Structure 1
């Protein structure tokens, strides 16, 4: 069994289509088909069910793909580690982060400490982050929800308060605090369904005994407070979103019941090789959220 066969099988299994897989691998379709056939002959069983030009992984193929993914990932990890040790690879790390408000300050603070560092930043949902870690696509994920998995370790970084933001002329605006049920009849402006923060705030409302009326859902978190400022509705706002710079004219009300907080954490794959550079980045991240982040938002 050859490594080339395994790579060809992995890509073919991904697309379940010979022509598409051949295009990605930049080989002819007959050559790809022949390689897959030799692999199946070596294993003594078919890995795909074939229906014309379309192919589908069978049960044998699905089990074998899990093993192949691990093998190729280990080889890639080894290649990366050797290049890092030999000084052949640029000092870099990769992170998936879902905190658009604090992200620029986070990056700037790190670059102050290590201006020659190369950072690749990605965005994903909590489910997407888990896949990124499992597939070793990134070194770290900074998430608003714990990420669990057999190979994943998650460390809390910051516990922050979540406020109810209202327009300055709102009938609740002069209150020092509220119970969330007092906002049961309000129009909520929220993130779109599927975002971890949306799931969290919907749960807050259910704990308070109501389902929020949410006619406006936005992917851009920064636009939500602008709409609140314009009197379109109210929204939940985490403390890290209340940056001193360019803060819209809204009022943030502490919520006494239920307890409305969220925990930001960092996750990594314990089986994924982390270079000294990546470990430095993790140490910085812990320090940033413990000591530096608070200096950017309005208390």
Structure 2
């Protein structure tokens, strides 16, 4: 008996679709189809038939599925048993994030309880984060609005609001709020095109029908802030990425259509939720999610 073939069949029968089964398994659709074909050819049985856009079980398929459901449940119990360890502090955790600062915050809570845990944190795009978690090149991911399938578990952890960064000598820095329409009178320092912050800014400006007087494109959040400090223009940044700097004033933005913000999510594989280090990370992330939102009023 080939376990991979049986597992592929059982998931296709459960989901009614090769595509959804491939998402749960974290493999390509052709791989799942090959497993099904090999299983049917090996035993000379027709197990599934195409009907409309989905698949239905044949009589032989229904009989087999009734047995494989029990087998898959037992296999899951075996996997969970083997993943249990005496403590969560003897292993390692590989994190990939589009927001390393948030990852560091969560890890700092973990290390209070398990200081010997080996940690690595790497930065990547949203797509890179999802792929790394799916391929198990990372244990945990953090990303904004990821496009995922049922193979991954997503847990919202923090909502971020965008603030405007102004040179401290700018006349608008004397006000508590920054009307977004004032962007039309300013030079706007923008991140590279792949930046999530830039995408949010462009969407908000389009919604408000506003064009900046001029745009300067600079790669990297730190360099953008330095450009603002030097008086090259204004910029937008996430609240957690606005470190105090006497040369820069951070102000809340007012606009007609709500606020500019996004939600950061923790992403893990569904089949690894019970790994102790991952479970501990989820617990620490939940503490961050439920903590009071910090204010930037002190960042003058």
1:34-93 deviation digits (Å, cap 9, x = unpaired): xxxxxxxxxxxxxxxxxxxxxxxxxxxx85446689xxxxxxx99997764477x95222
Counterpart for residue 217 of structure 1: 218
Alignment partner of 1:202 is 2:202: yes
Q: Distance in 2 between matches of 1:78 and 1:163?
A: 48
What is the aligned counterpart of 2:247 among 246, 249, 269? 249
Q: CA deviation at 1:231?
A: 0.2
Identify the residue that residue 282 of structure 1 maps to in structure 2.
Answer: 282
Q: CA RMSD in A?
A: 3.5
Residue 211 of structure 1 and its aligned partner are, at CA, apart by: 4.2
Q: CA deviation at 1:287?
A: 0.8
Question: Would the aligned equivalents of 1:92 and 1:278 in 2 still touch at CA under 8 Å?
Answer: no
CA deviations on 1:98-153 (whole Å, 9 max, x unpaired) are 22445544433432221111223222111111212222322221123344323223
1:184 corresponds in structure 2 to 184
> Relative to 1, partners in 2 of residues 1:222 and 1:81: Cα closer, same or farther, differing over 3 Å?
farther
Equivalent position of 1:97 in the other structure: 97
Distance 1:68 1:78 in 2: 27
Aligned partner of 2:40 in structure 1 is: none
**SS of aligned partner of 1:162:** strand
> Aligned in 2, Cα 1:243/1:110: closer, same or farther, shift over 3 Å?
farther
Change (3 A) 1:121 1:292: farther
What's 1:161 paired with? 161
Classify 1:173/1:86 alpha carbon distance in 2 versus 1 (closer, same or farther; 3 Å).
Answer: closer
Provide the C-alpha distance between the structure 1 equivalents of 2:108 and 2:85, rounded to a whole number of angstroms: 29
Q: Which runs of 5+ in 1 are unaligned?
A: 4-61, 70-76
Extract unaligned runs of 5+ from structure 2: 4-27, 36-75
Local SS of the residue matching 1:254: strand
How far is 1:288 from its partner? 2.8
**CA deviation digits over 1:170-202, x for unaligned, max 9?**
132222213212212322222211122221121
2-side partners of 1:192 and 1:118: how far apart?
A: 32
Match of 2:60 in 1: none
* Alpha-carbon separation, structure 1, partners of 2:82 and 2:120: 18
Pair 1:119–1:295, CA change in 2 (3 A): farther
Whole-Å Cα distance in 2 between the matches of residues 260 and 91 of structure 1? 39
Structure 1 Cα separation of the partners of residues 298 and 161 of structure 2: 12
Distance in structure 2 (CA, Å) of the matches to 1:284 and 1:297: 26
**1:239 match:** 239
CA distance 1:86–1:228, change in 2 (3 Å): closer
Whole-angstrom CA distance in 1 between matches of 2:136 and 2:234: 39
Instruction: Tell me the number of residue pairs that the alignment of Structure 1 and Structure 2 aligns.
Output: 232
The 8 Å contact of residues 239 and 297 in structure 1, kept in 2 or not, is answered as no
2:145 partner SS = coil
**Which residue pairs with 1:171 in the alignment?**
171
Between the aligned partners of 1:235 and 1:275, the Cα distance in structure 2 is 41
TM-score, normalised by the number of residues in structure 2: 0.65
Q: Distance in 1 between matches of 2:181 and 2:229?
A: 22
Q: How far 1:166 moved relative to its partner?
A: 0.8
Residues 36-185 of structure 1 correspond to what in structure 2 (within 5 A)? 64-65=30-31, 84-85=83-84, 90-185=90-185
